[in-house]
Amino acid sequence: MRAVVLVAASLLAAPLPVVSAESPAMRRALEEVERLRKLVDAGAAPRLKLEEAERALAAARDEEVLERTLYGAVGVEELTEEQSAEMVAAARRALERQTRRLEDSKRLVEEGAMPRTALTAVLQDFDRAKKTVDMAESRARLFAELMAMARAEVEAEAAAHNQPGEAPEREAVLRFGGSGVFTSSQFKKLAAAFQKQFGRALPVSANGDTAFHRSLGFDHRGRVDVALHPDREEGEWLLRFLEAERIPYFAFRRSVPGSATGAHIHIGPPSARLRMAD
């Protein structure tokens, strides 16, 4: 039903990560580590070179994680809790590496071993790493909020169906069991009408099936969650539109403890429970 509003100890000592066959950079970094490890074991290369290669492998691994979870085409609603945590951890490790690089570079400049102009590129990389951490943490917060909203929606739907005589959520949740069927053409009509009325896109937070709904055991196909408060102008307009079209909805008025916000409108029938194979 409703979902969402709008996401170590040293890697050098850890086992080498599994490398994706689609990642040439990761494959090259791993091959270089393996090559140098053999040379070091044979006494033909200094261990320092192996440690540098291991750091390069760790950096390549984190970059692959960020490309997949932060910069890729995958929407936040398709992340898993593990991927969200992995994304933030990768960004923070990258920042730690850039912080050490900046400190080392400043020391070399002070010692006269590096020109001060060389710090420009290092500072730029450090700033990019900081921004990446901000982006990853923001995306993770959004993911956590969406998960909290999905759970609240599932609980409210269960209460509405299993305890019709009780009303602990009655003031917090509005329900309209319209007889109409919510279709993709109706959604396009709604989105166009909202754009015309308010001059901005409908703030959809979950459109159809999502990873976090599946993780909760619910099928969200054919449902849409919109990040609007039902008691404010845009939310009231949306509810009137849905009722005129006889489209069922659940509207949530209050936030969920632990989340920044929780009010939203779930368009369509309640999310059905997924049938799990035996």
The pTM assigned to this predicted structure is 0.63
Domain assignment of residue 258, yes or no? yes
Shared domain for 29 and 121, answered yes or no, is: yes
Domain assignment of residue 139, yes or no? yes
Which residues span the domain enclosing 204?
A: 148-273
- Structure tokens, 274: 């997924």
23-37, 110-124, 251-265: segment of lowest average pLDDT: 251-265
Shared domain for 265 and 205, answered yes or no, is: yes
Overall number of domains in the chain: 2
The per-residue pLDDT for 100 is: 94
Shared domain for 207 and 229, answered yes or no, is: yes
Per-residue pLDDT of 46-63, as tens digits, reads 888 888 888 889 999 999
Domain limit, last residue, from 145, 180, 206: 145
Shared domain for 134 and 260, answered yes or no, is: no
Per-residue pLDDT of 133-191, as tens digits, reads 999 999 998 888 777 777 766 666 666 555 544 444 456 778 888 877 788 888 999 99
Shared domain for 261 and 192, answered yes or no, is: yes
Domain assignment of residue 6, yes or no? no
Domain assignment of residue 2, yes or no? no
Shared domain for 164 and 126, answered yes or no, is: no
Residue given tokens 């909020």 in the structure block = 145
Shared domain for 252 and 141, answered yes or no, is: no
Shared domain for 258 and 138, answered yes or no, is: no
Shared domain for 17 and 141, answered yes or no, is: yes
Domain assignment of residue 4, yes or no? no
Domain assignment of residue 3, yes or no? no
Residue 234 clears pLDDT 80, i.e. is over it: yes
